[in-house]
Structure formats: C-alpha cells, structure tokens
Chain A
Amino acid sequence: MSRRIVVIWFPHLVTDRLLRKQPELKDLPFVLVITERGRRIVKAVNVLAQEKGIYENMMLADCKALVPELMVLDYDAAEPKKLLNSLAEWCIRYSPFISIELPDVLILDVSGCTHLWDGEENYLNDIHKKFNVFGYTIRSAMADTLGTAWAVCHFGTNASIIETGKEVPVLSALPPAALRLDQPILEKLDKLGLKTIGSFMTMPNTALRRRFGQNILKRLAQAFGEEMEITEPVQPLIPFQERLPSMEPIRTAEGIEVAIKTLLQMLCERLQKEMKGLRKCVLTCYRIDGLIEKIEIGTSKPSRNTLHLFKLFENKIANIEPDLGIDLFVMDALSVEDLHSSQDALWTVSGKDESVIAELLDRISGKTGVQGIHRYLPSEHYWPERSFKNATSLSEKPSTEWRTDLPRPLHILPVPELIEVSVPIPDYPPLLFRYKGTIHNVKKADGPERIEQEWWLQNGLYRDYYCVEDEQGSRYWLFRSGDYDSGNVKWFIHGFFT
C-alpha cells in the first residue's frame, strides 16, 4: 500500500483561535502585531481585515491608514507552536502519525486509516466538518506525497484528493511557490517567465541545478515521490497500540467491556506473533466532549492472556466516566517484555475444570512467579534426579509409564547429603550411620540397587542404593558412591521412605 498524506493548512490559525476565545470580536477587522526594531508589524490578520487589503508583515501605521477602525492586539510568538501541537494531538483520532510544520500546517500520515471512515472523501469531509465546528478555517489536500499535498492544499482546490499517479498533471498547473522554494529562487523563476511548475519540470536536471541550485531538484523529487520526505511525529509511535473508533458514542459499562475485549484480542494477537508479553498497558478513551479518560494496568510478569488482562481491566472500568459517550478507544502497551510460548502454554487447556484450575494457577503465578509451579511427567532415566521432568502444560500427557517396580522414597533431598557409616564388609548395607549428629542403628536393609551414571550425559561414579530401617522404624534411602576397591568411598543419604 502506498503512503497517503493529508496536509491541513490553517490560514488564520491564531486569529481563529482568538475568535474562539473572544466571540465578540467576530464582526471586527483586527490584527495581531509585534514590535520589531521600533516598528509595529502585523503578524496575523483575520478574514475581515484581509478583505480590506491588510496582509501579514505590513506596518501597523499603514494598516491604520487603510482601515481606521482596525482593532490591534498583541501577538504572542509562542502561540502558533502551542496551538499546532494541541491540534495535532487532537488529530490523533484520525491518524497516529502526525507532524507539524510551523507556522500553520499539520501533516497527517493517513496510510491505512481512511477505510475506517469509509473512504478518503468521507475522511477529509469529517476533518473539515469537525474543524469548521470549532471555528477554524482550514484548507486540506490528500496525496501520495507530502510535496503534492502541500502544493494542492496551498494553491489548488480545497479538500481535493489526488489519486496515485496523478501528481504530474495536477502539479504542472500550480505556481512554483507550491514547491516550498526560497523567495530568491521564486523571484528568479518569475523573472524568467516560468509561472507554473509545468513550465520547468521537464527541463534537464543539470540546467535546473546550475541556475536555481540543488534545492529545486530536491523539492521536485519530493513532490513526485522520487525522494522520501521524513517528518517527525508530535507523538513518538508506540509500537504496540490498537485503536477502536466507534460509530455511536459508547456510554455503558457493557460497551466499554466489549471495546476492551476487542482491543485486548487484537493486541494479544500481535504480542503473540512477536513473542512479547505485556507488563503495563493503558486504555485511553476519547470522549465526544473532548475530554480524555484513562485507565492503566500493570502485570507482575509479562502476559498476553486476554482473559487475565481483561480481569485486571474489569476492576477499573468503574473509574471511566463516559458522560456523553466515548467515540474512540486506544490501547497502548507501554511496556512489553519477551515472553516465550512455553510459558503461556501452561495455562492453555481444554476442559472446563481445567480452565478454572488454569485461572487459579494464573492468579497464583501472579504472586509467586511462573517458575514456582511444577507438574511432573515421567522420564526414561534410572538416575533419580533425571527420572522425572517438568511438564510445559496442564494438558501434556506422559510419554511413558511411571515405574512402580523399584522402591523410591516419598521425600527426596535435592542434593544427597554426606553421612558417616560403619560397614561390616564391602557391598553390605551399613550397620549404623550418623546423619545430622544422630546415630541410627540399621535393623533391616534392602539392596543394593546399582544405578550407573549415564555416561552420555554425565561422568562420575555409580551409586549403590540401600533402603534401610533403623530401630525407630524410620526408613532411609542411602547410597554408596563408587567402588570399594578404589579406596575412596563415600556414603550419602538421598531420601526418606514412608
């Protein structure tokens, strides 16, 4: 899809704003002036004053001579930037990518936005309607390139939409000033009788460069889309953002719930594709009276579980005041972290009971962390530490049977602990052993069960396991590590039988 750019020009930006604040000035011609080198110079003119022949940068004395009843107000040099910024932020409802060009132009990158308004025409009409209601006079144009849109906006028909590939015929009829060239070059072009862009755009580049400099070639290339023009958005793009405009203003909690669910669904699908999880998320609701309502949630670990995130939002819906209604929902993931699929698979289940359990585990893992929850499956290894493995999900089935033919203790020590023993003869269970300062006299014993190292996984000594019972009836799982002949024999306790 090609880029589509809308340029909005506010010919009377500052004065329109003033009229909004002070409607009583509506029927008066007025100008805004600043003092420059001892002279008072007009910086902004309203429509009425302009009709009487007053233009920007005239001296106030001259204007007074032309229109004696002229109102004079002070001009604030910082005003246009402030105004444009706030307008740009308001326009974010139309497109996420908006930049400003001082003193009076807004640039909207609307690629992929217009279909939400059922076409480009409706889109531009909507912009015009809204701004007219606010009292701003605007001119706009939509085109593939910023250069063309700017040119048509300032010098062509108002609110025109230039289709892809139609730039050349449209531009050729416009004056050179539409290319945003510097004043000296414009004067030079004018002197040479080149009144339209069409009259020089077919000239060889070398000739143009020699006479008018590199800039004219750059502007032409930008207007025809041969060169990319980069603008800086007022709000940096948030990579994970989803927008949901609504046809009718939404006022009910149910409506907001549906909006949150839809947005979460879209957001989580995207997070899923990019293996990310959400840590912090904010929902911004744009009300039709211009106010903005925000609710924010945070998660203790990255998550892209729609249900879980919705639960977090659900508690905060009551904080939103829809008032007259909300016409746009925007959901931003302010902070995302890597989240691999093996982690969320633990909670994806089929049965009803299982999904209830999964939700419970989710709540618990919210507190303890996902590494605190284990489910074990059998693994085909004799080595006790490797004879089970962690399941990655609640639905994973064991791939092999659990073995019951070998005695295994119910409690096992994570790391075998060294014990002191007295053994009558090699390959016999100990007569007594000392564990944690207590001497246990062995009364009965089973074994040995020899477990060899799995040499393809790990090197080391084999273990001879004995199950022994002391005079109290307590049962232990002991092993001798290594061969008696080697002389270096150690005994360990590894577990407790019931």
Chain B
Amino acid sequence: MRKVADRSIIEQLQQQIIKLQKNETLSAEQPLSIGLGTIEDSFPGNVFAKGAVHELISNSAEEATCTSGFISVVLGKLMPNTGYCLWISTVPRRSIFPNALKGFGIDPERILFVDAGKTKDTLWAIEEALKCDALIAVVGEITELTFNDSRRLQLAVEKSHVTGFIHRFRPKTENAVACVTRWKIKPITSAAGETPGVGFSRWHIDLLKVRNGKIGNWEVQWSPKGLEYPSTPLRVTGDDVSIQEIDERQIG
C-alpha cells in the first residue's frame, strides 16, 4: 500500500518536471504513439519526441543513406497525408532521389528541398524553418553544430513544435549539443534467404542519448509494411523483388 502511494508521488513529480521543461509534447495529455514500435519505448511517456531537435550522425555515404532512410521512415509517420517538410542541405551534398521517398510513405512533392550555400546560411535557414509552425518537420544536413547553435534550434522548436532532424555527416568531433537525442544508424547484412536477391534492408540503430529516456540499440528491418524488430534473422519471404521478377519486366 505504501509502495503504491510512493509511485503516484513520483509520477506527479515527473509530470511537474516535464511541465517545467516546457516540453508539452512529452506531457501525458497527448500520448499518441507515431507507430515506430519498440524504439518509442525509450522516450519519456513512450512516445517519440515531436517538437524537438534530433541529432543523427553518419560517417560514410552508406551510413548517411541509412540515416536518411530512418529520417524518411519517421517523416512518413509524422506527415502521412498533409503538411510540408523542408529538407535543407549545404550545396555540394544533397543527393536525395525524390522518387525513392514514396516508398517511405511520403509524397515527394510535399518535401521542399533547399540548397543553402554556406554552413552559416544553412544554419540560419534551418533556424528560420524551425520557427515556422506551418511546417511539420525540418531536416538539416550539415557537418558541424556548436552547442550554442543547437541551443538556438532547440529554443526555436520549443515555441513552434516543429520536429527537427539534424543530420551531421562526418563531423570533426561528436561534441555535446542541446538536441534531445543522438542517433547513429548503420547498415547490417540482411537476412539470408532461400531465394536469390537482396531482400529487405536492415539497420543497426544506436540511440546514444535521449533526454529523460533510456538509451538503447536495435536491429531493425525496413519493409514497406513498416519497421520490424526481428529477434532472429528472418527468412526472406517470397514477395521481395527477385531477379526473375525483374527479368520479367525488363523495360525497353
């Protein structure tokens, strides 16, 4: 009996802390899971933190692609039918193929790509975009992010409740920033199958930091049905794209 009372007190205190942190999306009022599965359990309230800035770090082109893939998966959940997202990059690096975004459940025409020239301009554009509450999410591709800059971005989203993703490609140091999470996503070999072909792609997701939550790492498989958490290596099912199938629809 005594223990139950204690727990309710702790819960109340947690709610107060969350309120003090002005992170309303984390409050118990709208505990709507966005459908990412187990990963969301790491966040306070078991809900993916919307209206916050997430930091993702990648160190190679392959990792960057998987990171973009993970961002696209989350975006697909955040903006299923309406809304716009800004995808801001420094000029020589943007390489998203819009046609592929459709596979992640995003209408590519609802993503506005901005090529801002210099890092300074990119940061400015990201901040301006994060302040704009008409957007659903903002993806920023930059290399370096100082602590002060990350504070500015975090302050911007606290007012506007836009979700921000800062994708840092090959940063010099993994310095501390004020973002609520830090992710690293790597490709891993897909499940061995009976039929030839590459099958569904698999990623190793590392959640290295999460404010008020539990860090963790997962191996996930991305299929058109969504993120799956295979405990054992899955067998590749028959409905993936195999050589024979592609052979049949050779296009001339």
Contact = CB atoms under 8 A, between A and B. Distances in A.
Interface of A: 352-354, 356-357, 360-361, 363-364, 367-368, 372-378, 382, 384, 387-388, 391, 394, 396-398, 402-404, 407-414, 443-452, 467-469, 471-475, 495-498
Contact of B132 (A356, A387, A398, A413): A356
Contacts of A447: 243, 246
Contacts of A377: 109
B134 interface: yes
A356 B86 CA distance: 13
Interface stretch (B1-9, B191-199, B205-213): B191-199
16 contacts: A357-B112, A360-B135, A361-B112, A364-B128, A372-B116, A387-B99, A398-B109, A403-B102, A407-B241, A408-B100, A444-B199, A446-B198, A446-B246, A467-B198, A473-B202, A498-B66
A371 to B, nearest CB: 8
Contacts of B100: 408-410
- Looking at A397, A402, A472, A495, the one whose CB has the most chain B CB atoms below 10 A away is A402
A402 B101 CA distance: 9
B241 A446 contact: yes
B132 A410 contact: no
B134 A356 contact: yes
A413 B187 contact: no
A394 B165 CA distance: 23
Contacts of A368: 114-117, 121, 125
A122 to B, nearest CB: 51
Given A360-B128, A364-B128, A475 B109 contact: no
Nearest to B250: A450
A402 to B, nearest CB: 4
Given A373-B112, A410-B65, A444 B198 contact: yes
A367 B88 CA distance: 13
A492 to B, nearest CB: 15
Given A375-B112, A472-B187, A498 B203 contact: yes
Contacts of B203: 498
B113 A443 contact: no
Chain B, interface SS category: mixed
A411 B68 contact: yes
A372 B96 CA distance: 15
B61 to A, nearest CB: 6
Interface string B86-117: 10000100011111111100011101111111
B99 A468 contact: no
A391 B84 CA distance: 14
Contact of B252 (A388, A402, A412, A452): A452
Contacts of B97: 384, 388, 408-412, 495
A473 B64 contact: no
A356 B160 CA distance: 13
Interface of B: 61-62, 64-66, 68-70, 72, 83-84, 86, 91, 95-103, 107-109, 111-117, 121, 124-125, 128-129, 132-135, 186-190, 196-199, 201-203, 222, 241-243, 246-247, 250-252
A414 B252 CA distance: 23
Nearest to B202: A473
Contacts of B101: 410
A397 B68 CA distance: 25
Contact of B187 (A375, A404, A475): A475
Given A354-B134, A384-B97, A375 B197 contact: no
Contacts of A410: 65, 68-69, 72, 96-97, 100-101
A467 B246 CA distance: 11
Contacts of B99: 378, 384, 387-388, 402-403, 408
A447 B241 CA distance: 9
Nearest to A352: B134
A481 B135 CA distance: 42
Nearest to A346: B112
Given A360-B132, A472-B62, 13 more contacts: A354-B84, A354-B134, A367-B121, A368-B117, A373-B114, A374-B115, A375-B111, A378-B108, A445-B198, A449-B246, A449-B250, A497-B198, A498-B203
A411 B95 contact: yes
Contacts of B129: 360, 364
Nearest to A452: B252
A473 B189 contact: yes
Greatest chain B CB density within 10 A among A361, A397, A407, A474 is at A474
Given A357-B134, A473-B202, A448 B246 contact: yes
Given A404-B102, A498-B222, A376 B109 contact: yes
Contacts of A357: 84, 112, 132, 134-135
B168 to A, nearest CB: 16
A414 B95 contact: yes
Contact of B190 (A363, A387, A444): A444
Contacts of B72: 410, 498
A453 B125 CA distance: 39
Nearest to B203: A498
A469 B189 contact: yes
A364 to B, nearest CB: 5
Given A368-B117, A408-B100, A497 B65 contact: yes
Nearest to B95: A411
B131 to A, nearest CB: 8
A407 B245 CA distance: 12
Contact of B189 (A352, A443, A467): A443
Contact of B113 (A367, A374, A403, A450): A374
A409 B101 CA distance: 9
Contact of B134 (A353, A363, A407, A409): A353
A375 to B, nearest CB: 5
B106 to A, nearest CB: 10
A449 to B, nearest CB: 5
B64 A376 contact: no
Given A364-B129, A375-B109, A446 B201 contact: no
A450 B111 CA distance: 29
Nearest to A396: B109
B246 A402 contact: no
B65 A496 contact: yes
Contacts of B222: 498
Contacts of A409: 65, 97, 100
A450 B125 contact: no
B248 to A, nearest CB: 11
Nearest to B122: A368
Contacts of B69: 410, 498
A446 B102 contact: no
